[in-house]
Chain A
Amino acid sequence: MKTIVLSLFNSNGDLPMTIDKEKISQIVEKIPAFPESVHRVLELTSSIDTPPKEIVAVIEHDPILTMRLLKTVNSPYFGLAREVTDIKQAVVYVGMNTVKNVAITVATAGALPQTSQAGLDINALWMHSMRVGVIAKLVAKRVGVGANDLASFFVAGLLHDIGKIVFGEYLVEDYKKVMAAAAAEPDVSTRVHEAQIMGIDHAELGALVAEKWKLPADLIQAIRVHHQLVEKPEAVDQPGIVALGGCFGNLAAHYLESQLKTEQGGAAETSDAAEAAEQGEPLTVLPDAVQAWVGGSMPDILAGIQGLTEEIDKAQTFMASGA
């Protein structure tokens, strides 16, 4: 497999992207804005010192987030005797800590599309993305990244495959061809099919979407290079730590998913994991830059991460409670 992929790389080390720039620009324009409030909520709530009024302000400035949070607080699960009609009232009534925790759940789960027209298994993709986000965040914490900066790792993981979702939403017919080609030639990376059929791969498209959403540069890079770091690391110019964390998260998540496949004897949760498992690739190999940053081998790092299963369970709850 590796031989086939490398032969398609052009001299810049990328897959040739032949897509019409105009066409891509039109697609990206159609995509609704990623709520900046999600990133802000995750950022602010990661620090115990954040003044409550700042969290309240971020929620209040996003009417969709406000609506989702109030809907949750007014649900039978809370068993409240009175209806809550605004965020300040919610804080006084159910307390800041509960509002904060509900905001995290609601913001993350509600941020992005939950269905796909192209037959993409979007639940599996979100589950995988959650895993990548959680692992990236926890490995960054282990390396010593400050609490205030961990949100970026989580969001980078969450969004690393956003390009696939965009394909599935906006380039439905072409993406169906990609999925059919991938099924027919499972020994070839899906990215190759994407580049051949659509003229662009999901990593590059995801990065363009992130640019449209004005996400931070290190997040954009993380999305852009999450495969390149593995397949052609020398082509990646100065990978930032969010890119390294996201890459580790993705590799580790695929490894864990292939373990799940082995244990359950069933289909792997994502096509990438299936491909890699079939190709017999050693899934635990890390690119040098990633290994140097995380400071150990993948199995060692995974074993050393505290609370991984619990965090992934929490992420599953986020998925289930998405309004």
Chain B
Amino acid sequence: MLITLRGVRGSIPVPGPNTVKYGGNTTCISVTTDEGDQIIIDGGTGIREYGMAQMAKLPLTCHIFLTHTHWDHIQGFPFYVPLFVPGNNIHFYGSFDPVYHKDLQTILSQQMEYCYFPVRESELKAKIHYHRVKEYQPITIGSATVTPILLNHPVLNHGYRIESHGKSFFFTGDYEPASNIYAEDDEEFEQYEDLIKEQNQGVVDFIRGVDVAVLDSQYTPEEYVSKVGWGHGTYRSAIALASDAEVGQVYFTHHDPMRTDAQLDEIFSKLQESVSLPSGLSMAMAREGVNIQL
């Protein structure tokens, strides 16, 4: 399968001369199986250009998996042209909002309401289908199997593992590994540590042995001290997860909007100097336009 990173930026798109190398589009990843089944993960602004490219071959059937509904992962949809074309079949997969009882269609439609956008979701001409995902329940798309796992973030967020013809790929969506809410001298500390270990083991086991993992690593460990609970990982937590899970290659994604190309280069250099990876694991900074052929 061919995986292309189409948007690797977190929070808000950041075009400009300082982000040309790694890109300013928010999260979007396309996955195409050897047979041509089209899968997209997340609709950040990176989905816009891909949609234009997809228009070359109509009618189109496409399966879009949403890790979560934070704005930087859905903001590209009103500009995803295939939605406007009759004859296309677009399937959305994601979770229900269990706090305010909103289904996926409602959530996505709301950003296309009158005050936000001139075309309403009900006016889109493609056939649109909405599916609710359940943790660990695989979904078959042609030769691919897509399996969701719930990962910690301020809103329900599903990471996705995709397998096809013996090759595998994993994307976290936005993910902050759990940290202990108790201080070391609180009596609940140990119990909470055990819960964290159990939770982390579940994630490691789920992604064990994937060829490529794209992981949320927005912060350096120093920055993270003041960002605990914000919902994102660090370069170190990504490396730790990839190592424990015996991943082949790890890509660091969800680059902070403040991060310039030069800064990302510097962070990567420092990582290369200071981290010794287990053999079999290589790492890279996610960059817009990168093609990964598995």
Contacts and interface: CB of A to CB of B under 8 A. Distances in A.
Interface stretch (A38-46, A75-83, A207-215, A264-272): A75-83
A125 interface: no
Contact of A92 (B154, B156, B196): B196
B101 A56 contact: no
Interface stretch (B122-130, B184-192, B251-259): B184-192
Nearest to A97: B154
Nearest to B134: A79
A96 B95 contact: no
A317 B101 CA distance: 7
Contact of B181 (A77, A91, A321): A91
B199 A314 contact: no
B101 A320 contact: yes
B98 interface: yes
B1 interface: no
**Interface of chain B: mostly helix, strand, loop or mixed:** loop
B101 A98 contact: no
A51 B181 contact: yes
Interface in B133-190: 133-137, 150, 152-156, 178, 181-182, 186, 188
B181 A79 contact: no
Contact of B134 (A52, A56, A81, A105): A81
A94 interface: yes
Given A105-B99, A320-B101, A321-B101, A53 B182 contact: yes
B156 A88 contact: no
Contacts of A80: 135, 150
A66 to B, nearest CB: 15
Contact of A75 (B98, B134, B152): B98
Contacts of A321: 101
Contacts of B95: 79
A22 B186 CA distance: 48
A79 B96 contact: yes
A75 B155 CA distance: 16
Contacts of B152: 92-95
Contacts of B137: 79, 81
Nearest to A102: B99
Identify the interface centre among A72, A95, A102: most chain B CB within 10 Å of its CB.
A95
Most buried by B among A51, A79, A98: A79
Contacts of A53: 181-182, 186, 188
Query: Interface of chain A, helix or strand or loop or mixed?
Result: helix
B36 to A, nearest CB: 30
Given A53-B181, A93-B150, A95-B153, A81 B135 contact: yes
A105 B181 CA distance: 22
A92 B98 contact: no
A114 interface: no
Contact of B192 (A88, A93, A97, A101): A88
B34 to A, nearest CB: 29
A47 interface: no
Contact of B136 (A81, A88, A91): A81
Contact of B195 (A52, A78, A88, A101): A88
Interface in A100-122: 101-102, 105
A96 B199 CA distance: 14
Nearest to B99: A101
A92 B195 contact: yes
Nearest to A78: B98
Contacts of B191: 88
B100 interface: yes
Nearest to A56: B181
A75 to B, nearest CB: 7
B173 to A, nearest CB: 12
Contacts of A95: 152-154, 231
Nearest to A321: B101
Contacts of A88: 188, 191-192, 195
Contacts of B133: 79
A85 to B, nearest CB: 11
B132 interface: yes
B229 interface: yes
Contacts of A89: 195
A93 B149 CA distance: 11
Interface in B21-80: none
A102 B100 CA distance: 9
A102 B199 contact: no
A75 B133 CA distance: 14
A105 B98 CA distance: 11
A321 B100 CA distance: 9
A96 B135 contact: no
A71 to B, nearest CB: 12
18 contacts: A51-B181, A53-B181, A53-B182, A53-B186, A56-B181, A78-B98, A78-B156, A80-B135, A88-B188, A88-B195, A89-B195, A92-B178, A92-B198, A94-B156, A95-B152, A96-B229, A97-B229, A101-B99
Given A53-B182, A98-B99, 11 more contacts: A72-B98, A79-B96, A79-B133, A92-B178, A92-B198, A93-B152, A94-B156, A95-B153, A96-B229, A102-B99, A317-B101
Interface of B: 95-96, 98-101, 132-137, 150, 152-156, 178, 181-182, 186, 188, 191-192, 195-196, 198-199, 229, 231
Interface of A: 51-53, 56, 72-73, 75, 77-81, 88-89, 91-98, 101-102, 105, 314, 317, 320-321
Q: Which 10 pairs show the lowest CB-CB distances between chains A and B?
A: A97-B154, A77-B98, A79-B134, A81-B135, A81-B136, A52-B181, A101-B99, A92-B195, A95-B152, A53-B181
